[in-house]
Structures are given as C-alpha cells and as structure tokens.
Amino acid sequence: MRLPTASLIAALALALPLAAPAAEKPVDPYVQSDSNAGVTPIRGDAVFKAFHGKAGIDRIVHRLNQYHHSDPRLSDLFHAADDARLERTLSEMFCYVLGGPCHYTGRDMASVHKDMGAQIAQQNAQIEDLQKAMAEEQVPVWAQNRLLARLAPLERVTVTR
C-alpha cells in the first residue's frame, strides 16, 4: 500500500503552503465583480510583462504592505488591516488592471476606504511606497506610470478626509 501513503504525503505537501496564506478574517457578504476595482484594465500584455507577471505583482504588493506598516505616515491607517486578505485582493486588482489573467474578488473601492479616513498626504505617501516597491522589482518607470495613471482617479473615493 505504498501508493496511497505517497499520495497522502504529496497531498499534504501541496496543501500546507496553500493553507498558510488563506487565514483571512471573515467579511460581510458582498457581490463580487471585476467592476469593484473601479478601473478599466490596460489593453495588451506589455505592461503586465514589465511587472514580471502575477509573481512580480505578488512580490510588489507584499513589499508595499510591509511599507504600509513600517511607514510612520501610513502605519495608523493599516494597523488593523487583514494583511492576508489585503495582499490577496490588492494583488488581484493590480493583476486585473495591468491586463493580466486575473479577476478582482475584493469589495468596491469606496466601501474599502470609507472608514479609513485617509488624507491626500497619505495617498501620496502610499504612492511613494508603491513606487519604491515597483523599483525594487525593477519595473521600468514607464510601466510604473501606466499603473499609477489607472489608479490615480480612485483618489476621489480613497481620500475621504
């Protein structure tokens, strides 16, 4: 009976790393839709490739979220954030906006930000941290700016104070 044991070990080996990042806190129900991202995706795959695909986006978002906590201008805003959920949904959103093969499953931008009470200086601080994270991933500046151009108008709903 070697086969089932081997299968079990293989299954466990696969399941364990998948289980770790899934520890998201429950959220109130909402309707999932790509339109919740509030942004029209970029056409073509040049920018998505410049971000090194979904793996690159995951690294950028993880780094950005580290900045959320280490940047004194932002740490209060993200103090109580569900990091696992934030990183998963933000990575989906960037991937979707950059024309990658992803769907955004998070809440709409207005709902996400309505209770954060962010000021424009904090939005600017987050952009700087995102620029640093993208530079660390060696995303060329023209491609960085393509993403920022899509995200910029969201300021009208992300900045509430």
Partner 1 sequence: MRAPFLFLLWLAPAVLAASLVAPVPAMARPDYIWGGKLDLTRGVTTVDGAAGGGLASWALIDGNETRDGIGGTASITELQTHNYGLTTYAVGLGAWDRYEVTLGGQDFDTGKTGGRLGLGDGYTFHQDILGLKARLFGDAVYDQDRWLPQVAVGAQIKSADHKDLLHALGARRADGVDYTLSATKILLDRSLLLDATVRLTKANQFGLLGFGGDRQSGYQPRFEGSVGYLVTPKLLVGAELRTKPDNLRFAHEGDASDLFAAFAVTHTLSATLAWAELGDVATFRRQSGLYLSLQAGF
Binding interface with partner 1 (CB under 8 A): 119-122, 124-125, 127-128, 131, 141-142, 144-146, 148-150, 152-153, 155-156, 161
CB of 150 to partner 1, least distance (A): 7
Long-range contacts of 41-47 (CB under 8 A, 24+ apart): 41/96, 41/97, 41/98, 41/99, 41/150, 42/97, 42/98, 42/99, 42/146, 42/147, 42/150, 43/99, 44/99, 45/99, 45/100, 46/143, 47/98, 47/99, 47/143, 47/146, 47/147
Instruction: For residue 15, count CB atoms less than 10 angstroms from its CB and return exposed for 0-12, middle for 13-18, buried for 19 or more.
Output: exposed
Q: Are residues 100 and 89 in contact, defined by beta-carbon separation less than 8 angstroms?
A: no
Nearer CB in complex with partner 1: 7/124:
124
Nearer CB in complex with partner 1: 91/126:
126
CB of 99 to partner 1, least distance (A): 14
Nearer CB in complex with partner 1: 111/131:
131
CB of 33 to partner 1, least distance (A): 19
CB of 67 to partner 1, least distance (A): 15
Nearer CB in complex with partner 1: 47/86:
47
